[in-house]
Structure 1
């Protein structure tokens, strides 16, 4: 079903027009609500929470994963290198914590926090808090000494004031048919891009005014042992991906010289079952996955010690030196308005 929806949104599938009499009016209603929320935020009448530290929003105007989490990780790493103590807030999609806000720690599983918050915590060690109400997540991080907040998604969460906005664009799929949900993939219209600080183009052709970003893959990592090997050193592989655009992962493998015997796409934030993945693994010698999928699959290791050849591929957001400097200079100017980290 998810694959058909994407074909309607991004490939102009005929079924989209068959469903248009129902989907088009709903998309118009969605757009009306989206514009109203933004207008109330701009007018200062929606009671948005203003944090005592800078807030950076990393989001998008379309549904699905465009590469937000690697940008969040990059920002955290850059800020920590400059002596700051950044914290990350997230909706925690796919997780069900007992109480909110919920602060992630080393024992937190994706069943409670969702895959992306756990990935960010494991990669960066930065404090991460989740809540459907993002201002509550921010308030949970402040006692931990956090001096700058990064939100993973939340561009349209207008109950939280922000200082800097990033929009991540899939450079290959762009904005599809440019209709609001559910007739198209848009959460907000493309004119929203003119009001954000940085439009980051992930792959594909970078348009005027956009910042080019690439996702640089590293070596494959064994899910059980942590061993690292060059991707092309493994033969007879099977790949799967439960991310916003699974084809990007499969294309990356191809660029690394890996041609899997089979590639299995899943819906974003897929809750995997061991039997399902084990059946896939048996179709080859090595099972390859994204790092985002790996944080969910680690739970299978303790339960199934026979797992040996499950591997994941970490990727890192990379920018040109000039663009990286422009981004950090903007953040430093905003931070100066709040005081230095040693003040």
Structure 2
């Protein structure tokens, strides 16, 4: 993690008094974002209303909160109830030839972004990327037999009308200093959580976060989400030997190189500790695009008895480097009972009235 990222973290999640120098910019951000949202909600700016229900999985803060694992859980939950879901995403970090672009088996993370590629490879549902989610939805529906759309992120993309809003909150980091960008980590004020259909708290919430949520009037229903680790999966054939069949333990004991380019690398490192895996941590910024230079030191270490253990999100990028030996640790979301009932009630309401919430 570079010095700039460390400084930002100290502003947002620490007690660095220098953050108050950014107060005028926070006020400007709040004014512009509020006007923009009002323009869409009041009909002053055009909004696309899809002919099928749209579920937005988003958050009010910058950085990883667990939206993608929740999206994958939701895909499976909807399939079990007879729906045929598709996914749209901004495709952050990708650079396709043109937008909208439907993710395919030949795509790389450099072309379509790490999260869309991960969703496609894990779930095999159609995934379309476009910074304009409305355009992505139209392309998804035109080319695929889909009866419900999931938007991975996009809570603030008000150009797209939505039937269900799910806001994911990091139970460990909460809302930081509760300031808006750039003074704090929030895209919208905490009060925005009163308007969503459900708040999903990723991992056990700290006492400060629980107290803050309890103090909010007319709070949306809250549901707990826990991420459970699956079995280690080899990055390539050369990496299979150190892995035990169907095991989360490595056959060759010793330290591994833990590589995490996600919103909260410490959560991944804690998971490895819980699994009694010894490691040296290598955190990178979220959505980091790995280069040969990044991996030169890791590759040198991996040629010995130890190798890399990384996240599934990072694996779709690291698999492009055949010299890297290692494995990724997939995680699966476990949701508190009741969330799917909230979602299904909204979908049934859409069937009756053929209208989104807004």
Q: Same fold (TM over 0.5)?
A: yes
> Secondary structure of 1:231's match?
coil
Aligned counterparts of 2:255 and 2:296: Cα–Cα separation in 1: 15
Aligned counterparts of 1:327 and 1:283: Cα–Cα separation in 2: 49
- Match of residue 330 from structure 1: 345
- Match of residue 255 from structure 1: 274
Tell me if structure 2 keeps the 8 A contact 1:238–1:281.
no
Tell me if structure 1 keeps the 8 A contact 2:164–2:343.
no
> Secondary structure of 1:299's match?
coil
- Match of residue 284 from structure 2: 266
TM-score (norm 1): 0.91
Tell me if structure 2 keeps the 8 A contact 1:55–1:151.
yes
- Match of residue 218 from structure 2: none
Could you list the per-position Cα deviations for residues 211-247 of structure 1 after superposition, in whole angstroms to 9, with x for gaps in the alignment? 1000111011101038564333353211010000010
**Structure 1 runs (4+) greater than 6 angstroms displaced:** none
- Measure how far apart 1:323 and its partner are: 2.5
2:222 corresponds to 1:210: yes
- Match of residue 169 from structure 1: 169
Tell me if structure 2 keeps the 8 A contact 1:53–1:338.
no
- Match of residue 219 from structure 1: 231
Q: Where does 1:18-167 land on structure 2 (aligned, <5 Å)?
A: 18-21=18-21, 23-143=22-142, 144-167=144-167
- Match of residue 11 from structure 1: 14
- Measure how far apart 1:334 and its partner are: 3.9
Q: Of the candidates 239, 245, 248, which is equivalent to residue 231 of structure 1?
A: 248
Aligned counterparts of 1:258 and 1:123: Cα–Cα separation in 2: 24
Aligned counterparts of 1:145 and 1:337: Cα–Cα separation in 2: 21
Aligned counterparts of 1:99 and 1:50: Cα–Cα separation in 2: 23
> Secondary structure of 2:338's match?
helix
TM-score (norm 2): 0.87
Aligned counterparts of 1:85 and 1:299: Cα–Cα separation in 2: 31
- Measure how far apart 1:83 and its partner are: 2.5
Tell me if structure 2 keeps the 8 A contact 1:54–1:338.
no
Could you list the per-position Cα deviations for residues 19-69 of structure 1 after superposition, in whole angstroms to 9, with x for gaps in the alignment? 532x11111110111211222222222211110110000000000110000
Tell me if structure 2 keeps the 8 A contact 1:290–1:312.
yes
Moved more, 232-241 or 125-134: 232-241
Tell me if structure 1 keeps the 8 A contact 2:77–2:340.
no
- Measure how far apart 1:204 and its partner are: 2.5
Aligned counterparts of 2:296 and 2:121: Cα–Cα separation in 1: 25
Tell me if structure 2 keeps the 8 A contact 1:231–1:258.
no
Q: 1:255 to 1:211 in 2, by over 3 A?
A: same
Aligned counterparts of 1:335 and 1:81: Cα–Cα separation in 2: 19
- Measure how far apart 1:336 and its partner are: 2.8
Q: Name the Cα RMSD after superposition.
A: 1.8
Tell me if structure 2 keeps the 8 A contact 1:58–1:168.
yes
> Secondary structure of 2:111's match?
helix
Tell me if structure 2 keeps the 8 A contact 1:163–1:334.
no
Q: Of the candidates 293, 315, 320, which is equivalent to residue 314 of structure 2?
A: 293
> Secondary structure of 1:264's match?
strand
- Measure how far apart 1:300 and its partner are: 1.3
Matched pairs, number: 328
Aligned counterparts of 1:6 and 1:19: Cα–Cα separation in 2: 11
Could you list the per-position Cα deviations for residues 121-171 of structure 1 after superposition, in whole angstroms to 9, with x for gaps in the alignment? 000000000111111100111121111110011100111110100100000
Aligned counterparts of 2:20 and 2:340: Cα–Cα separation in 1: 45
> Secondary structure of 1:300's match?
coil
Could you list the per-position Cα deviations for residues 275-300 of structure 1 after superposition, in whole angstroms to 9, with x for gaps in the alignment? 42241244460211100000111111
Aligned counterparts of 1:46 and 1:313: Cα–Cα separation in 2: 43
